[in-house]
Amino acid sequence: MALTLLVIFLCTGLTVYCSPDKRAAVPTFAQGHVEATVTASSIREASGVCASRQHADVLYTHNDSGDTHRIFAISAKTGALLNTITIDGATAQDWEDIACGKCTGGSGNCVYIGDLGGNAGGDANTIFRIHEPATLNRNGGNIHVHADGTLKFSWDQNNCETLMVDPKGEVYVLSKVGTGGKHPKLVHLPDSAWTAHHRVQVNEGIMIPHTHTFVGGDISPNGQEVLVKDHSHIYYWHVNNGNYYETLRTQEPSQVPYHVEPQGEAVAWDKDGSGYYTISEGQHPKIYYYRRTSAPVVG
């Protein structure tokens, strides 16, 4: 009896040493097809992507380290640059990922940009938030928006390229590889950090029982599905009750279709969860779209 209780305790605590449960859901998606090719030469290292909740068939992306504090609105159908959006009040050290979703608290549509990487001489560990522009003039020109919020945090991880936001505007980050080259760490960033006037130390989180090098991810618009990618695969989890910690810690992910790209670090659900997009770094990358062909089968 004592041994049984010990095993139960070890497999339900915050540990990575228990084997994950079998897959809880396996949806299907079509193989990716090229939806468009990005035309703007200013987009040279598309490190993250997300689907606008405000505008149909619009994607937001950004360059990796070495660029300024701007994102790009592009057409998912043609690849054309609609607008460059300069974010006043933001800084750019190593922007690694971007997420679209509800603003913090669950009202309005926001875009979150993660200055999370270590390519520019240290981790900024800063999230910038903007309200989605109500209109895009779609002439390829520059528009300015102000950063609506800034969240600065510290944690025990050295590099991060994955930023995800749930339907309530709750922010999660997932380290690229766990400290010491072991397991990546998933952390929920507290809402209170948005209004703090200092860098917030975050001590919570869970280790993911995998050794993949995660470079991007997204939570579905309904909050029930998670995609995370490395350079050669995309992994899928079905999430019950919004419990991302428990799901990613205990469930074995499914692999979903992915056309390997030259330097693919970006994945995003479309605005209604009907499929997902990927895009690569490099000049004039292709936009791939993977259409959902069946719903998750839970059991």
Q: What is the pLDDT of residue 10?
A: 39
- Distance between alpha carbon 20 and the CA centroid of its chain, in Å? 22
Q: Tell me the pLDDT band of 296, cut-offs 50, 70 and 90.
A: confident
Do the domain assignments include residue 244? yes
Q: How far apart are CA 216 and CA 1, in angstroms?
A: 43
Whether the per-residue pLDDT at 8 is higher than 50: the answer is no
Average pLDDT over residues 215-233: 97
Which tens digit of pLDDT belongs to each residue from 225-253? Answer: 999 999 999 999 999 889 999 999 999 99
Q: Tell me the pLDDT band of 24, cut-offs 50, 70 and 90.
A: low
Q: What is the pLDDT of residue 202?
A: 96
Picking from 1-5, 7-11, 58-62, 246-250, which range would have the lowest pLDDT averaged per residue?
A: 7-11
Query: How large a percentage of the chain has pLDDT more than 70?
Result: 88
Is 282 in contact with 231 (CB distance < 8 Å)? no
Q: What is the pLDDT of residue 5?
A: 41
Whether the per-residue pLDDT at 186 is higher than 50: the answer is yes
Average pLDDT over residues 207-227: 95
> How do strand 81-88 and strand 142-146 relate by DSSP bridges?
parallel
Picking from 16-20, 245-249, 262-266, which range would have the lowest pLDDT averaged per residue?
A: 16-20
Q: What is the pLDDT of residue 19?
A: 47
- Residue 80's CATH number: 2.115.10
Do the domain assignments include residue 20? no
What is the token pair recorded at 205?
């989180």
Is 299 in contact with 22 (CB distance < 8 Å)? no
> pTM for this one?
0.90
**54-88: buried (b, 16+ CB within 10 Å) or exposed (e) per residue?**
bbeebbbbbbbbebebbbbbbbbeebebbbbbebe
Q: What is the pLDDT of residue 11?
A: 43
Which tens digit of pLDDT belongs to each residue from 132-160? Answer: 999 999 999 999 999 999 999 999 988 89
Do the domain assignments include residue 185? yes
Helix and strand tally (H, E) in the chain?
2, 23
Q: Which residues touch 2 (CB under 8 Å, ≥6 apart)?
A: none
Whether the per-residue pLDDT at 21 is higher than 70: the answer is no
Q: Tell me the pLDDT band of 51, cut-offs 50, 70 and 90.
A: very high
Which tens digit of pLDDT belongs to each residue from 52-68? Answer: 999 999 999 999 988 99
Q: How far apart are CA 271 and CA 284, in angstroms?
A: 23
Q: What is the pLDDT of residue 6?
A: 39
Average pLDDT over residues 74-88: 98
Do the domain assignments include residue 6? no
Instruction: Name beta bridge partners: 277.
Output: 268, 289
CA dihedral 101, 160, 230, 17 (to 10 degrees): -110
Average pLDDT over residues 287-298: 87
Q: What is the pLDDT of residue 22?
A: 54
Whether the per-residue pLDDT at 117 is higher than 90: the answer is no
Do the domain assignments include residue 26? no
Do the domain assignments include residue 47? yes
Whether the per-residue pLDDT at 120 is higher than 70: the answer is no
Q: How far apart are CA 232 and CA 294, in angstroms?
A: 23
Mean pLDDT of the residues in the chain:
89
Count the domains in the chain. 1
**DSSP-assigned states of every residue in 130-160:** EEPPS----SS-EEEEE-SEEEEEE-S-S-E
Whether the per-residue pLDDT at 4 is higher than 50: the answer is no
Domain encompassing residue 125 = 37-294
Do the domain assignments include residue 15? no
Average pLDDT over residues 72-84: 98
Average pLDDT over residues 69-91: 98
Do the domain assignments include residue 267? yes
Average pLDDT over residues 67-94: 97
Q: How far apart are CA 60 and CA 136, in angstroms?
A: 12
CA dihedral 188, 194, 196, 198 (to 10 degrees): 80
